[in-house]
């Protein structure tokens, strides 16, 4: 094992730690503000239904989904899925997350371009995450450098996907905060707590991107190292 491999593993460990820190942060922030109930007694589902109807969206269903922090908007099905700790909860965290998911539904309705780009690059990213490693392993193992390089290029689609995810996520939260501010869903104090949850969630996307960039660097080092030894 040379320094090269040592450094390349170091990159992966740094990425893992960044992701872990962001995950712990979002879980603890969510937990803290899940205990703070909003004064209007609105559940996540109530808030979502009010926001959607205010935005003139009548064809999106709101449904519960299992798990924690699994909330998402599915553009293909036009369903806004809220986790158990959001759907029926009257916490400030629940309203914030529901509003964020509504932000995605509004992006979809408006034909927000980064959202389309994310959907398209998601397909490439799936292919990239499945086939990059096999191509690199086979390419380096059998000395087909071109194959290994193709694997690295495929993996870069995962980075691209996570890169275009950032504006989509930040914009959904920006819309959520604006809606909560102007519609009076939450009081000023409740709003600032809700913002903290959304910021913590946004940081997980940033951490995922950083971690994937570090993995890409590692792959470039490995494939570059394979060429060096030829």
- Name the residues that contact Zn ion, by CB under 5 A: 169, 172
Q: How far apart are CA 95 and CA 45, in angstroms?
A: 8
- Shortest distance in whole angstroms from residue 174 CB to Zn ion: 11
Q: How far apart are CA 211 and CA 63, in angstroms?
A: 32
Classify burial at 154, counting beta carbons within 10 Å of its beta carbon; exposed 0-12, middle 13-18, buried 19 or more: buried
A 10 A CB-CB count for 168 gives 20
Q: Give the residue from 191, 193, 188 showing the smallest Cα distance to 177.
A: 191
By DSSP bridging, strand 72-74 and strand 79-83 are: antiparallel
Is 101 considered catalytic here?
yes
Which C-beta is closer to Zn ion: that of 73 or that of 155? 73
For residue 103, the minimal CB distance to Zn ion (Å) is: 7
* Closest distance of CB 145 from Zn ion, Å: 39
Cβ-based nearer residue to Zn ion, 50 or 172: 172
Q: Which residues pair with 193 in a beta bridge?
A: none
For Zn ion, give the closer residue by CB, 39 or 113. Answer: 113
> Please, are residues 163 and 209 in contact by the beta-carbon 8 Å criterion?
yes
Three-state DSSP class for 176? helix
Q: Which of 23, 77, 101, 110 is catalytic?
A: 101
**CA distances in angstroms from 6 to 13, 138, 149, 209, listed in the order given:** 11, 22, 21, 22
Least Å distance, CB 104 to Zn ion, is: 6
Select 154 or 201, whichever has its Cβ closest to Zn ion.
Answer: 201
Minimum Å gap between C-beta 71 and Zn ion is 8
Q: Which is nearer to Zn ion, 148 or 172 (CB)?
A: 172
Residues constituting the chain: 230
**Catalytic machinery residues:** 101
């Amino acid at each position: 094992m040379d320094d090269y491999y040592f450094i390349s593993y170091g990159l992966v460990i740094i990425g893992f730690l960044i992701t872990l820190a962001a995950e712990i942060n979002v879980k603890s922030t969510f937990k803290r503000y899940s205990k703070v109930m909003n004064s209007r007694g609105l559940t996540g589902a109530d808030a979502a239904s009010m926001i959607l109807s205010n935005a003139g969206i009548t064809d999106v269903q709101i449904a519960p989904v299992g798990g924690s922090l699994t909330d998402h908007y599915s553009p293909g099905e036009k369903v806004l899925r809220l986790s158990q700790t959001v759907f029926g909860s009257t916490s400030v965290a629940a309203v914030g997350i529901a509003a964020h998911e509504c932000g995605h539904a509004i992006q979809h309705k408006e034909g927000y371009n980064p959202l389309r780009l994310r959907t398209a690059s998601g397909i490439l990213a799936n292919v990239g995450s499945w086939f990059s490693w096999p191509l690199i392993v086979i390419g380096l193992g059998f000395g087909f450098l071109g194959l290994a390089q193709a694997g690295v290029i495929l993996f870069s689609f995962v980075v691209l996907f996570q890169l275009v995810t950032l504006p989509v996520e930040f914009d959904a939260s920006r819309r959520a905060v604006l809606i909560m501010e102007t519609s009076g869903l939450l009081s000023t104090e409740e709003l600032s707590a809700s913002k903290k949850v959304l910021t913590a969630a946004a940081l997980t996307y940033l951490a995922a991107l950083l971690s994937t960039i570090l993995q890409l660097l590692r792959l470039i080092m490995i494939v570059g190292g394979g060429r060096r030894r030829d």
